[in-house]
């Protein structure tokens, strides 16, 4: 980070590999998610802090944007059609919001029964959401920062090697008070984490994006 960014840091922490995290961002605060070692997918859910029934919606976000990937300038839209946050800086270039989060159950379908008993993002989300009175019902569509999952014109979908380099970051600036929930993705069965989950860093600044 540059010195100008250090000056207004309100909060910073490293999120270990495979672990969840959550924090309320107040309106105007910016969360920087840093892919510390590169090629690490970061699954994220957003809820309106005042009324968690209002939450991030991938389909609303893509409909409003008219295109399939999250990138610099993307407005993150709620299930009530409001802007919850926006992407205000991005040194990676493209993020997914159509692939959902990994779960023990979907891993078993995708990669075989033997992968059912591996830690997964939905386990993280369920535990982290329980701190806020929310349940599996509340896990809807999520963001996958630093995940490279192109969809081609025929509809073919692939999770390919992550394009994020060590230190790449994405800034999310809150347009309302939002509960921001992260699962630092534990997936070891596809290239979203380079088959090797690693730590990430979360930094919250009071200034809005650059």
Contacts to another protein by CB under 8 A = 53-54, 57-60, 62-63, 66-69, 79, 81, 98-101, 103-106, 108-113, 135-141, 149-159, 188-191, 194-196
Q: What is the smallest separation between the CB atom of 61 and another protein, expressed in angstroms?
A: 10
Q: What is the smallest separation between the CB atom of 72 and another protein, expressed in angstroms?
A: 14
Nearer to another protein, 20 or 204 (CB): 20
Q: What is the smallest separation between the CB atom of 185 and another protein, expressed in angstroms?
A: 13
Compute, in degrees rounded to 10, the torsion defined by CA atoms 72, 78, 82, 84.
-50
Q: What is the smallest separation between the CB atom of 93 and another protein, expressed in angstroms?
A: 12
CB 21 within 8 A of CB 182: yes
Nearer to another protein, 30 or 61 (CB): 61
Q: Name the residue with tokens 């510390």.
A: 36
Q: Name the residue with tokens 């939450």.
A: 55
Gap between the Cα atoms of 57 and 127, Å rounded: 21
Q: Which among 139, 165, 159 is positioned nearest to 147, based on CA atoms?
A: 159
Residue 134 Cα distances to 37, 70, 82, 184, angstroms:
31, 26, 21, 19
Nearer to another protein, 110 or 131 (CB): 110
Question: What's phi and psi for 203, nearest 5 deg?
Answer: -130, 125
CB 182 within 8 A of CB 5: no
Nearer to another protein, 105 or 206 (CB): 105
Q: What is the smallest separation between the CB atom of 26 and another protein, expressed in angstroms?
A: 24
Nearer to another protein, 53 or 165 (CB): 53
């Amino acid at each position: 980070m540059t010195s100008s960014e250090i000056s207004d840091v309100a909060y910073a922490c490293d999120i270990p590999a495979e672990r969840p995290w959550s924090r309320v961002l107040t309106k105007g605060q910016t969360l920087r998610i840093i892919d510390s070692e590169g090629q690490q997918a970061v699954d994220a859910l957003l809820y309106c802090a005042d009324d968690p029934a209002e939450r991030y919606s991938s389909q609303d976000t893509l409909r409003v944007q008219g295109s399939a990937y999250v990138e610099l300038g993307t407005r993150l839209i709620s299930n009530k059609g409001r802007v919850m946050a926006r992407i205000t800086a991005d040194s990676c270039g493209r993020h997914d919001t159509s692939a959902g989060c990994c779960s023990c159950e979907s891993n078993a379908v995708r990669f075989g029964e033997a992968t059912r008993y591996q830690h997964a993002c939905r386990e993280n989300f369920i535990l982290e959401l329980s701190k806020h009175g929310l349940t599996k019902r509340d896990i809807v569509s999520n963001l996958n920062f630093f995940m490279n999952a192109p969809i081609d014109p025929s509809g073919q979908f692939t999770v390919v090697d992550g394009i994020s380099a060590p230190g790449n970051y994405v800034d999310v600036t809150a347009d309302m008070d939002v509960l921001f929930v992260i699962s630092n993705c534990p997936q070891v069965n596809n290239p979203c984490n380079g088959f090797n989950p690693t730590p990430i860093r979360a930094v919250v600044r009071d200034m809005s994006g650059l």
